[in-house]
Amino acid sequence: MGRRMLCLYFPSLAMDRLQREDPTRKLRPFAVTREIKGQPCIDAVNLPASGAGIRPGVRLADARTVLPELDATPDDPIANARVKQRFIEWCGRYSPLVADDGFGGIVLDILGCAHLFGGEAAMLQDIQTRIRRSGYRLRGAIAGTLGAAWALARYGKRVIVTAEQLHDALDPLPINALRLPERIISELRRLGITSIAALRGIPRQSLATRYGSEIILRLDQAFGHAEEPIAPYRPPSPYRALRTLAEPVGTVSAVQYVLLDLLKEICARLEREHDGARRLNLDCYRVDGTAAKCCIGTSKPVRSVTHLMRLFSEKLDSLDAGFGIETLVLSVPNYDEFDPEQISFPQFDPDQGDTELDGFIDRLGMRLGFQSVCRFHIQESLLPECSVEFQPVTTAGIPHAIWPDYRVRPVCFIDPPARIEVPAGSSDTPPAQFQFGHRLHRIVRAEGPERLTTEWWRDESQPWESRDYYRVEDDRGDRFWIFQERHPTRWYLRGHFP
Amino acid sequence: MPTLSQLQEQIDRLEGTQRRKLRTAPICDFIDKALPYNGLPLGCIHEVKSRDLASAIAFAALLSARIPATGSILYVAPDRSLYPPGLLPYGIRLEQWLHIFARQPDDLIWTVSEAIRCPQVNAVLAVMKKTDLALCRRLQLAAESSGATGFLLGNATSAPVASAITRWRISSVNGPAGRGFDEAFWELELSYCRGGRPGKWMVAWRNGRLEAFRFLSKVPIRPVRPNVFLPASAKAG
């Protein structure tokens, strides 16, 4: 089957992370501690501390009696995981299949990827130098199976092993390299079985009856007799294009140039497979081992290079190139079916130009958010605040409810309603005047009341029971929609009529 | 007179509006006759102002509904105070309308200038508090090239639009007694019209069209009792 797996192992991730956070820790004795039975115990030490005789495993209090100036920090598994996650994402520049190996390392499926980086040795060398440059110790190994690469990265001397060399490379390794539970390892050691070669000498049947099927499975996985799938961190998008640049770029125009190339490739494939993109991600990998992301969405499936390029160019201005971008990956996580269209002469087809409006709506959505670009939808409700919905253009249209002619409504709606001052005594009749702000409005004409009660099926609690709406006109000709709330009696301005 | 028509063409070219060949939308007979274009010119910027914005929106909406094309109508505003059922008596088709909510002034200006450039847009109704000469000129050029019509709406406090082809002031007036609130009575003032004369009309929006109405008395008599009106739901509840 010929798989090639690359395993990366961080021997001292927590220590490296803490020393990177504060480089002065490299110069003085420093330890990472972990709580065992309620007491802080030393988990890892740096060079000055180990030179002073501090070993991992002892209690921090004991270590401090030997070396009072020992600086210690408790381990933070969440921060470690975050660092590892960053490296998993960054490894996406080498292979689309990158996974956490479940034991504090990273595994890459590099079949068909290594030649892009000058072969397996050069690729491994490249990864190691880059990660080590950022201050983390690292061991890596390449083998035909995940089990073998895992073992070689932790215990092996050789780092690149072909299928023929697999047995020779694995046999001298200790049995810890097989990813077995601690219980089985200690029992095997008690029996004097310390290397993989010795374990392989025992008949499989008796191993299985004594230690269960797991030991057989791990052996088979290491030697390639059993399949071992990996769960890639990000399911690679079927639409994915990558460009690695000879020299890092830092300008928007250079990124645009590469992006245009990537878009052409993706759009050609989208057209061939009758799909249209709904969402595109551009991942820009910087030289310092970090990544910048840029993401666009569309309201309809799209495969026009110019349209997508315009959407991206509005986002690219805010892209932070850092020390320079050396790899760009364009992927399409969301796409929809988009059937090819018959090309027609514009003078015979009035709908031809519709795409331009869609393009404009997409650009509006990118800048303002799609929730700000709405169509109106009239709902089945008598309450004025519930009868109109602003519906984002991306959602499918629903037919409008019927709007009867007698329901006269204002053009400008005030929500929440504004309090107005009305002379006392005018209850259940339209007021003779009301004051809003500094202006006193003398009412010359009124229509109403239109009594609207709460709708029982709405569960948002409305403190009022019914509101009497009046349409009123003041002596200048301005027309308002006001309502009265009872218990206590209050008047509110709800809108303006033209 | 060939020289005179040649001169006229030259002036039109310089003015860039080509007013004799402009597409227009009809407003109503007596106003169309007063305008030099025989109707409201399309593909340019108009300013519409009223005391409280509602009348300006309604007037611009009824004009945009008369544009003889099947494009979209965009309403761009910094808030969501527009209530479309109130516009239904003014002849609008809701499915033609798009509401764009742009809170930041920069976003609003960007949206309006991009919208006016789009050939599938019939009309843009924008509530803009601040404008300047360069922006107005840019909008006017964009409208001329795309054919979209821009209505810049404002109330009494918003800044004047520098390069509008027409400027309208709409003041609500008291209508004759007994008229419903689905009709509107306006004093329509054309305060500026490029190549034409200003004018002032008393109009009523009634039964889906604008008509002239005579102003009977300054202060109508207040009815003793309001027209009592209860909707069906209130009786049931």
Q: What is the 3-state secondary structure (H, E, C) of A123-180?
A: HHHHHHHHHHHCCCCCEEEEECCHHHHHHHHHHCCCCECCCCCHHHHHCCCEHHHHCC
Number of compact structural domains in chain B: 1
Same domain flag for A357 and A390: no
Same domain flag for A89 and A121: yes
Residues spanned by the domain of A300: 240-365
Q: Residue B221: inside a domain, yes or no?
A: yes
Same domain flag for A116 and A50: yes
| Order of all β-strands in the sheet with A98-100 | A98-100, A105-109, A5-9, A139-143
Instruction: Provide the CATH number for the domain around residue A250.
Output: 3.30.1490.100
- Beta carbons of B94 and A376 less than 8 Å apart: yes
- Name every residue whose Cβ is closer than 8 Å to that of residue B109 and which is 6 or more positions away in sequence: B128, B135
Could you identify the residue written with the tokens 């209850």?
A427
Same domain flag for A386 and A334: no
Q: What is the pLDDT of residues A197-240, one digit of tens each?
A: 999 888 988 888 988 888 999 999 999 888 888 888 865 557 88
Per the CB < 8 A criterion, the answer to whether A284 and A325 are in contact is yes
- Beta carbons of B83 and A449 less than 8 Å apart: no
3-state helix, strand, coil in chain B (%, to 5): 30, 25, 40
**What is the average pLDDT value for chain B, to the nearest integer?**
82
Q: What is the DSSP string of A322-333?
A: TT-EEEEEEEEE
In chain B, the residue whose alpha carbon lies closest to the alpha carbon of A452 is B234
| Residue-level pLDDT at A236 | 53
Same domain flag for A378 and A493: no
Q: Residue B19: inside a domain, yes or no?
A: no
Number of compact structural domains in chain A: 4
Q: Residue A177: inside a domain, yes or no?
A: no
Q: Residue B16: inside a domain, yes or no?
A: no
Q: Residue B7: inside a domain, yes or no?
A: no
Instruction: Provide the CATH number for the domain around residue A126.
Output: 3.40.1170.60
Question: Of all helices (H) and strands (E), which one includes residue B3?
Answer: helix B2-15
Per the CB < 8 A criterion, the answer to whether A263 and A309 are in contact is yes
Q: Residue A151: inside a domain, yes or no?
A: yes
Same domain flag for A15 and A134: yes
- Nearest CA to A44 out of A100, A85, A104 is that of A104
Q: Residue B3: inside a domain, yes or no?
A: no
**What is the average pLDDT value for chain A, to the nearest integer?**
87
Q: Residue B20: inside a domain, yes or no?
A: no
Q: Residue A313: inside a domain, yes or no?
A: yes
Residues spanned by the domain of B174: 25-236
- At residue A72, φ and ψ (nearest 5 deg) are -140, 150
- Beta carbons of B234 and A451 less than 8 Å apart: yes
- Name every residue whose Cβ is closer than 8 Å to that of residue B225 and which is 6 or more positions away in sequence: none
Q: Within 10 A of A320 (CB to CB), how many other CB atoms are there?
A: 10
Q: What is the pLDDT of residues A107-133, one digit of tens each?
A: 999 998 889 999 999 999 999 999 999
Same domain flag for A35 and A98: yes
- Chain B residues touching A381 at Cβ < 8 A: none
Please state whether beta strands B97-101 and B72-77 pair in parallel, antiparallel, or not at all (unpaired).
parallel
Q: What is the pLDDT of residues B92-136, one digit of tens each?
A: 888 889 999 999 888 999 999 999 998 889 999 999 888 888 888
CA angle A137, A138, A139 (to 5 degrees): 140
Q: B64 by DSSP, 3-state: which?
A: helix
Same domain flag for A360 and A421: no
Q: Residue A204: inside a domain, yes or no?
A: no
Structure tokens at A28: 């003085």
> Which amino acid is residue B16, in one-letter code?
G
Instruction: Provide the CATH number for the domain around residue B212.
Output: 3.40.50.300
Same domain flag for A133 and A29: yes
- Beta carbons of A372 and B102 less than 8 Å apart: yes
Euclidean distance between CA atoms A454 and A452, whole angstroms: 7
Q: Which of A116, A131, A155 is the last residue of a domain?
A: A155
Q: Residue A202: inside a domain, yes or no?
A: no
- Chain A residues touching B100 at Cβ < 8 A: 364, 368, 372-374
0.80 exceeded by pTM: no
Same domain flag for A95 and A28: yes
Q: Residue B1: inside a domain, yes or no?
A: no
Q: Residue B14: inside a domain, yes or no?
A: no
- Name every residue whose Cβ is closer than 8 Å to that of residue A115 and which is 6 or more positions away in sequence: none
